[in-house]
A and B are shown apart, each in its own frame.
Chain A
């Protein structure tokens, strides 16, 4: 179609009206997103499919297709919106086109299969306006991406395009425009936030007959792409903004400096410029106003630093893209020494909006310091990835949780990096921070161009700092010594830290260096380049310290420290990759030896360990984590089936007697380690049975007694003496033990006191506490249990109690009452699933208010429903009672399982030991030494209720401390990076195995088979399954093989 050059503003108005009328005649549109990200997910094929369908069925008259730029919701690409009601279909395939046309477009019927599903509620959402991602946004700029085909200037004119330009040319003087922009409060969207009006004014006032105007579209931040989206989706808005700007400052030539990596943006802008020229909106004597203006496109070669204005100008001039010192500012001496005005894409896009709708309207959006909206690209560990346009001043929480939909897989939010590599990490505590220029700068970050990279708990902060430093050291132009050398040196130091080679003083050196780099660098890149380091140190100093001092990477990411995530995460650093590799090779006995080497209670661990190793297993990224506990169990069972080598009593080489109080996992682990070192060790156990919580707390269907006994036998055979019915405080005392000649004492009495709910009626008949109940069941004592049993709590004790109750003969119904949802439940996931499988009812989001009694006997419980509110200190969302939702549950027995505490009543005046307010013995967390000489403590009595493997770890570490103490050495611990002791060659997988996606699952008893008995539920892998599972291991440990010590 040939476009006629418009010579008058009037002509443009008439054309606009004509186009608007044509457009209004078409009521319904099929709006197909086809930006770069959409195309990457196959939107071109979808577009073609729609075109084919329309052509095949001759529907050109009835179906109006509009192929647009990006709709912002990357997660849902390719997507289609059916106007006018805006039905939103997502993640389309070419095959869906026909159905959409036939059903929705022609018959107005919704296709549920293609609708968006809210990940939180699971509901299907029909209309775009109801989708949480769009609901909270304020889409001034991005919404127009839906309205126009970017390749058609007529589309833009039909929705009122170039109206602002007409207004400026017709009615406004340059001063008035500048005044209007100033009044609107628009600030540079490129990151620095300089008031746009002021910038224009300076350039307008600068002396010079030739002036230039530049649109900065060199968007180089990793994870930021809002400029691309605007250029691709609505190029005419930007052109209109630039033309207005040029008119105001008196420029005759303009440049769009766009990244060479944005081919679609370049294509669309080129088309837009040509179309604007055809209409006479660019070129000589624009709309008869006598104003001449041309725009040229410059494609950047991909240097991040060319986003800096002075470097950008150098690049346009054909020089090396290097910044130069300001002043002189570009407004005085810019491109080729002439006054130049540079603004970012998003800033330009805002200009027509302000002119046509007015500064007053615009300045009502935003907060007191910054006006208008800002587009952020929300990426990283977030449910709804995409471009988000929000009023400036909105809180980070709203952006991340309400629009972004929170973190996938319900993992914990850790930090958000705003402003790309030169920005900073903002931690969870500052989630309520309003997003504006000043606040972010104060928090140690920057607004930047608007990248928001969300990180969860699996992200290591040191690794993040390293990543950004690596980006910056490559992208620094290298002119300033401070930026080039400074960032390189920071990178070296952080790399050392991440490899476990960090030294004391490194953090301070980093801070000192970072501040100098910030202070002395010439351009914005260097001045902000230190932000990732400074902000991560500011908010996550402990994580740096963990890397440097303790050689730990809490997120299990830094390869140089962790070797493999499983081994590193294990509290006793069991060499998981080694034994898994040995199982894969069929060398089962050796595998068992490897397990035994670090773990004194392999049988117990193979049944009840909560396997933190599996949580961090990288195999989960492509399917399921390796069933590490299942494999351990296989090795242990293999040992049981064969002849277990009876442990020979270890030779006693030392004569300092050691007393261990408590025979739980901590006590057993400590005693075994000390016997191995040659000490005579005696365990004093208050109960008549050995094993502590393992025996009385964990039901037999999870940990069979014979497995526990096998482990105990090994420890006994090694030479540990055990004295039962010896209760501390009653039968023995600390002083008494010292008097008897014991040289060191390890207290590991556990946490055996149930907490109370403190609601009325708690002491009625029929109310039990979980520990009391489990103990009775485990010791085979008779328990008087009613038909309907309620359990209050969400921890392991609650689930164990419920499942044990369910196994009792006279019990008919068991309900767990928990105040949060399954996601927040602290009990092990598998156990919760098993409980549900068995028929235990779980009342989530319910909290008890009153225990109902009759004649002092329990008859039921009154509860209230809750909903989840804000995230509290524990990182979980706080339950809030819903008024008027009270209801009652009839019960015969109620078991309270809301938590346990150590019972320290035995300590008369604490026997000189320091005790915390929550009844825990205070120890040095590194050495487990108490304030009393020769007395050590560990396990639940120190930490409160904790896992078995943590207790074993505490016992082992305390044993090392006790040994050092008895040898008169300093207790100070030395830390080293995790490494396996041997490297086992990996197995070679066949191609079928690599392609295999079905994984072995643990065979289990059916719920029917579990009724009324305490048989072990999990049956263990067969040899074939175990080998198959072990062969799946990705062998992370091999990555750092060269550093074997």
Chain B
């Protein structure tokens, strides 16, 4: 159990990148980008986990009980919400690209040719 979560992280990164490379549709590319970003959340939380630790909220457990790391949770938390907004911006660009070039196929969009 020592390294298994990180193997899953590596798998998700490679799967997402494979989707981006073999994509024939800009919207499919953007969703694969979301998948790659989600691997970083798993990595952050996997690094901060303490075996047998509780969630770092001391409303009903006494201060000083073993808890997982709160700093990586704070980072992952803002990450998740900001990713949605950035995805929306990318989708707006995709819509604009379709209006300009008439297609969403990356291999036919002029800047991406080749």
Our verdict on whether A and B bind, yes or no, reads no
Q: Which B residues contact A (CB, under 8 angstroms)?
A: none
